[in-house]
Amino acid sequence: MNAGAPIAVHVTTVDVSLEGLLGPQLEGIAAAGYRVIGVSAPGPHIEALSRRGIEHVPLAHATRAMAPTEDVRALAELVSLFRRMRPSIVHTHTPKPSVYGRVAARLARVPAVVNTVHGLYALPEDPWAKRLAVYGVERLAATCSQAELVASPEDLRTLRRLLVPADRLVLLDAGLGIDLERFDPDAVTASERAAARRELGATGDGDVVVGVVARQVREKGYPEIFDAASRLRLRYPEVRVAAIGPEEPDKPDRVSEADRRTAREAGVRFLGARNDVVRLYAGMDIFVLPSHREGFPLTLMEAASMGLPVVATDIRGCRQIVDDGATGLLVPGGDPVALAGAIERLATDPAERRRFGAAARRKALARFDHRRCVDVTLATYERLLTRAGVAAPVRTAAAT
């Protein structure tokens, strides 16, 4: 804890976002001299945050479910919390807290309010009613912040069209980035890789392991993955498909147990939520993410850093990470035939897999270091605190 340091509060819905999505960033901000406090619903990841030196305050009314009454209560809870804590900065993340968190910070007169746009919840091709609702709320919430850190250049253009003032918009060149030292294929031993391959379903050296790391919701493209697995199973029995990620029983688009039974019949193996994804990436030959919507997906950067060729949908975020025909393949969304074809192409061409994987690793090293995001965030904090007349910590070379 940095006693007497400016307090930077980061707000998400659940604690897994603070640890899994923001952990390296929060650690970097703390190292720069801030007292960093995460606020979210309580959960099992608080201990991991503590190991990073990040405090946690539980938010009783935060929920991922569609519950407007609870959201209003969460807003009121945050206003009271901010008035009591008197933070210098409130930094909001994820769809619901990014709205009520910004409003609460403004009502509590927090000197600096920052929001990270991980991915607008509507796309230009969505129905106009959805775009009107999402963009309207986003534009209103943006009046309560002094800075919007935007992961995707496509979202940056959308926010400009929504007339969010240009001086509030800051592009995060590669989203949040990742810890390149952690996601390093050389950090996994041959025996660990062999064990991971067995766990992912490989039974011999000739098997091709195709993996996805994503929450078990249909939006992540699981129906297309299951369909593609079924199509590939008879023609290419050496292709093994494995899914890593938590179940989401409260989500309306959750992958149901019936869906999983059908997928298992097609040979898909489910490993659930895991903390050893680096080892599991090392056991894969191909990574897939046929999402319907993304911001700037961490898992694609992680897979690239692990030297994996990727098959992903040609959507915002994915196309900023995957260079089609160079580091992986992009396919149309909602098209299991195209997905199966791309997997087949890579599964039957080891040389192309190696070429794409090597290029992906080079791009990751050049572009995806999370410290770039930390530097942009700290510079934004310093600019806003200076404007508010609040002293910011003096950064040293070791903290940047």
Let me know whether 249 and 276 are in one domain. yes
- Considering the domain boundaries, does residue 2 fall inside one? no
Q: What is the pTM of this model?
A: 0.88
Strands lying side by side in the sheet with 239-244 = 269-272, 239-244, 208-213, 286-289, 310-313, 328-331
Residue 190: Cβ-neighbour burial (10 angstroms; 0-12, 13-18, 19+): exposed
Let me know whether 147 and 63 are in one domain. yes
- Considering the domain boundaries, does residue 138 fall inside one? yes
- Considering the domain boundaries, does residue 390 fall inside one? yes
Let me know whether 151 and 68 are in one domain. yes
Phi and psi at residue 215, to the nearest 5° = -60, 145
Note the pLDDT of residue 31: 95
Let me know whether 91 and 200 are in one domain. no
- Considering the domain boundaries, does residue 133 fall inside one? yes
- Considering the domain boundaries, does residue 350 fall inside one? yes
Let me know whether 125 and 274 are in one domain. no
- Considering the domain boundaries, does residue 46 fall inside one? yes
Let me know whether 197 and 330 are in one domain. yes
For residue 96, the domain's CATH number is 3.40.50.2000
Let me know whether 46 and 150 are in one domain. yes
Residue 226: Cβ-neighbour burial (10 angstroms; 0-12, 13-18, 19+): buried
Per-residue pLDDT reduced to its tens digit, 76-89? 999 999 999 999 99
Residues spanned by the domain of 105: 7-177+369-399
Q: Which residues face 150 on adjacent strands?
A: 117, 171
Which residues have a Cβ under 8 Å from the Cβ of 61 and sit 6 or more positions away?
70, 71, 73, 74, 77
Let me know whether 261 and 376 are in one domain. no
- Considering the domain boundaries, does residue 1 fall inside one? no
Let me know whether 153 and 21 are in one domain. yes
- Considering the domain boundaries, does residue 349 fall inside one? yes
Let me know whether 190 and 132 are in one domain. no
Question: How far apart, in whole angstroms, are the C-alpha atoms of residue 383 and residue 343?
Answer: 46
Per-residue pLDDT reduced to its tens digit, 293-303? 998 999 999 99
* Average pLDDT of the chain, as a whole number: 94
Note the pLDDT of residue 125: 80
Let me know whether 332 and 202 are in one domain. yes
Question: How far apart, in whole angstroms, are the C-alpha atoms of residue 394 and residue 107?
Answer: 29
Query: pLDDT tens per residue, the chain (400 residues)?
Result: 566 799 999 999 999 999 989 999 999 999 999 999 999 999 999 999 999 999 999 999 999 877 899 999 999 999 999 999 999 999 999 999 999 999 999 999 999 999 999 999 888 788 989 999 999 999 999 999 999 999 999 999 999 999 999 999 999 988 899 999 999 999 999 999 999 999 999 999 899 999 999 999 999 999 999 999 999 998 999 999 999 999 998 888 999 999 999 999 999 999 999 989 999 999 999 999 999 999 899 999 999 999 999 999 999 999 999 999 999 999 999 999 999 999 999 999 999 999 999 999 999 999 999 999 999 999 999 999 999 999 999 876 545 4
Let me know whether 75 and 28 are in one domain. yes
User: How many distinct structural domains can be found in the chain?
Assistant: 2
